[in-house]
Structure 1
């Protein structure tokens, strides 16, 4: 028996040798906590599996694994409860508003780029790579690609990761078709089922954004060449070398989309095993005979900054419900105003509470993490989006029949009551369970999937066999315009030749007929 155990241990040590020595670099530039926490479980799991993981970000992690190394950026406050509702206005999805939001994000990204590129942490990364090279880089994909200059200097394989729907500028390098006819723009309010007007707006948004992004790439090129030298290729050329991309979505709720070998859906990476709920909240949940409505609009925006008349409507609307309401609200004085069926708390363990069997519905802002938790727990949802991809998530849940959008400025006590009754209908509850089943039941868990692909990419030297060669094709070749042109020219030529032959044949036949019927010509 001891001999068998020794053999098994030897095999385990031998096998782990192939994965424990990998050095992995992770690059974040956006200070949003939700972006970081979407993928932190992957980095932590890689560290636990023996890899040396170095993470450049704005987020400090308490109690991280010993193989997890932090390089912290500074000088930008982490976006956490620092945004007020007046900063979100206007609350619409017009073509202008979407581009205004994207341009605001780019202005922030320019600031982030300048700080990151001139941070001493970049020099530390280059020095560490000279001493012991990194094996792979995982890089955030959002609004800018300036880190590709650093990746080119390191000369290693890299994997992109998107914390929300993949923006269209990242399609081409991974051979992903650009189909605005049924793939909605990342910041739009459409699902995959669009009418003619929506498809037109979606097409204009996608194409105009990709055009504007060329300016962003030009600015990135200027800055990375200042930092790393004029011999650095443009970011568009470096991007073609990407091994694959992780996207924090899943077809179960986002709908059908074209996929390629290089796009891996990993929605639910942050879902963790259930943990005990604080005693006070547990008692409320367990004793809620009519069920619970959980209300939480995330941590980035201050709930208390909401217009006062809407706060009053919320209080009145909750009082009309037979459900127990658990309301995440950072101002503790609100508890003195609300009715007896409402419990307010400045913080809560959202996933654990949401999955409690007595929670019947969730009122959310539609953030990506909250949306994934809604789907995971299989709860009907009211969605009140404020910004960015929250509108897209609202449209997706609505199209799946498990959620309904209620705009912030339209909130009244009566509409709250009506919305809750609507999402408690049996068909909505059943739709939520159906989507949850699809999201949960996969060949591998999201974490296992992501870890496997990182290790596989390292083992294969960058997943070269899975890369698309289409990145170097001209647009007319990619869309077979040359082949179609050749076929059309051939058909036109064949038609012309056939017409000429038929004309000559017709002339010959006519001449013979005239000779037969003309006696004079025949006599002569």
Structure 2
């Protein structure tokens, strides 16, 4: 019996070793909110026995035995609490310049890293390479040199310049735009707005960011194909959204919705925060604008509107706030520059969430069934906020419309029992999947490694753009109509012209 047990255990160990994958993850962007999402997945890969090597700005202090860091830490200032609370077209243009500039800088920093250079020179065998798809395709060049299948990853919805490479049609009439509001039911003005900014962002990325990245890669390697071509060769895209919140979309089979895997179980609160929440007789409202937006930059009249609302409602409030100079009622409001967001949202006394609408916080709120009042600032937040409102999970309150009266009305609506019932239904649908989101993400990563010689992209991704929009077909139809028109006009001329000529001849003979 003991021998049988030993054989079984030995067999399990051998199976684990045989199925263990060698995985490289490339995450050159230094935004903390992005890597916080990926980190849970990467740790789970290591926990399941895979050998994981990660290029990022966030090395682990106490990594698992089979988790290895190639650290970029200290080479760039971490993006955290540095975005002002303001919203305008100028802000959006600033974002576009920032994304392009930072994407190129991320590429330079990563390729200049000695460990990265050694990795490429040594060319260890990887079964699959994970590459973040955000503001640079530089990681695809490294993946090409290492010769392994690529699985792209995102911590948010699709960027404007990612649709075409995946063969996904973008129609501004019903497809949400990453940086703008309007959701799937935009107004005429919003549709015009989308067309303009879609063209702008795609052009900026193609002509500036991607071209710069290609030139930086060329300084190290002389054989990197066009980055857009490499992007189309990715096996899969693991997209951080789910249709229960963002609605149905026209995605090909190689785009897998996996949102939710980063949300861990809520832990009990501790210390003063626990005491503050436990003593909240009517419940708690949580306020946070994420790790990037600095709430303390909010205009004073907007801060006053929030504080006045806090004093008006019977709930206690917890606010992620960076400035210790704020004057407030400590019996009603708890502030800190760092808060255990998942533990707060997962607490049974948390009744609502005033948020900027970032995908991380939105995902956590949906996971725990906490309604949102979304006040989007930038990035994907306007699109997320529109999805929140359209799905019935919350409301949108624009920063320019923030007053005590509007905020009170928003909170009263999302805290209505009927509204909260709808929120619980959406949360239930969010959880109701064939596999947990983390298991789904792991499965498709392993799937790409098991089938490296297959491509799963739609043929639309390889179709020339003029064919994709059927421009050549329309030209043919236009030519046919033009020919018919010319023939028809010629027949009329021949018919009517000959009659006119005869009439003129007859008239001249009479004279």
TM > 0.5: yes
Structure 2 match to 1:220: 213
Cα separation, 1, equivalents of 2:313 and 2:261: 34
Name the SS of the counterpart of 2:219 in structure 1: helix
Cα separation, 1, equivalents of 2:468 and 2:18: 39
Q: How far did residue 12 of structure 1 move?
A: 2.1
Deviations 1:267-317 (A, max 9, x none): 112111222221433333333221211112222233333333433333222
Structure 2 match to 1:41: 40
> Is the counterpart of residue 28 in structure 1 residue 6 in structure 2?
no
Structure 1 match to 2:352: 361
Name the SS of the counterpart of 2:220 in structure 1: helix
Cα separation, 2, equivalents of 1:407 and 1:251: 24
- Map 1:20-99 → 2, pairs under 5 A: 20=20, 22-73=21-72, 74-81=74-81, 83=82, 85=84, 88-89=85-86, 91-92=87-88, 94=89, 97-99=91-93
Structure 1 match to 2:447: 456
> Is the counterpart of residue 419 in structure 1 residue 413 in structure 2?
no
Contact 1:174 1:244 in 2 (8 A): no
Q: How far did residue 436 of structure 1 move?
A: 0.9
Q: How far did residue 235 of structure 1 move?
A: 0.7
Gapped runs of 5+ residues in structure 1?
A: 498-524
Q: Cα gap change, 1:111/1:476 in structure 2, threshold over 3 Å: closer, same or farther? A: closer
- Map 1:353-432 → 2, pairs under 5 A: 353-432=344-423
Q: Cα gap change, 1:491/1:188 in structure 2, threshold over 3 Å: closer, same or farther? A: closer
Deviations 1:443-491 (A, max 9, x none): 11111011111111111115x1523344333334445566777789899
Cα separation, 1, equivalents of 2:265 and 2:457: 35
Query: Equivalent of 2:464, from 449, 452, 474?
Result: 474
Cα separation, 2, equivalents of 1:173 and 1:304: 39
Cα separation, 2, equivalents of 1:327 and 1:391: 21
RMSD of the TM alignment (CA)?
A: 2.9
Provide the TM-score with structure 1 as the length reference.
0.86
Cα separation, 1, equivalents of 2:469 and 2:12: 49
Cα separation, 2, equivalents of 1:481 and 1:109: 33
Q: Cα gap change, 1:467/1:4 in structure 2, threshold over 3 Å: closer, same or farther? A: farther
- Map 1:195-274 → 2, pairs under 5 A: 195-215=187-207, 216-229=209-222, 231-274=223-266
Cα separation, 2, equivalents of 1:110 and 1:488: 43
Q: How far did residue 32 of structure 1 move?
A: 0.7
Gapped runs of 5+ residues in structure 2?
A: 488-511
Provide the TM-score with structure 2 as the length reference.
0.88
Structure 2 match to 1:338: 329
Q: How far did residue 138 of structure 1 move?
A: 0.7
Cα separation, 1, equivalents of 2:295 and 2:263: 24
Cα separation, 1, equivalents of 2:58 and 2:423: 33
Contact 2:210 2:227 in 1 (8 A): yes
Structure 2 match to 1:511: none
Contact 2:167 2:462 in 1 (8 A): no
Cα separation, 2, equivalents of 1:173 and 1:19: 31
Contact 2:180 2:383 in 1 (8 A): yes
> Is the counterpart of residue 104 in structure 1 residue 98 in structure 2?
yes
Q: Cα gap change, 1:191/1:427 in structure 2, threshold over 3 Å: closer, same or farther? A: farther
Contact 1:52 1:68 in 2 (8 A): yes
Cα separation, 2, equivalents of 1:75 and 1:328: 27
Larger radius of gyration: 1
Number of aligned pairs? Answer: 490
Structure 2 match to 1:125: 119
Q: Cα gap change, 1:451/1:492 in structure 2, threshold over 3 Å: closer, same or farther? A: same
Q: How far did residue 7 of structure 1 move?
A: 4.7
Deviations 1:239-281 (A, max 9, x none): 2211111111111111221111110111112111222221433
Structure 1 match to 2:495: none
Cα separation, 2, equivalents of 1:67 and 1:49: 10
Cα separation, 2, equivalents of 1:495 and 1:8: 81
- Give the 4+ runs in structure 1 shifted more than 6 A: 483-497
Name the SS of the counterpart of 2:19 in structure 1: coil
Which structure exhibits the higher relative contact order, with contacts defined as CA atoms closer than 8 Å and separated by 6 or more residues?
A: 2
Cα separation, 2, equivalents of 1:200 and 1:490: 31
Name the SS of the counterpart of 2:97 in structure 1: helix
Structure 1 match to 2:12: 12
**449-458 or 112-121: which moved more?**
112-121
**389-398 or 2-11: which moved more?**
2-11
Deviations 1:89-143 (A, max 9, x none): 4x13x4x6434311222112222222222221321221442xx322221111112
Structure 2 match to 1:289: 281
Name the SS of the counterpart of 1:148 in structure 2: helix
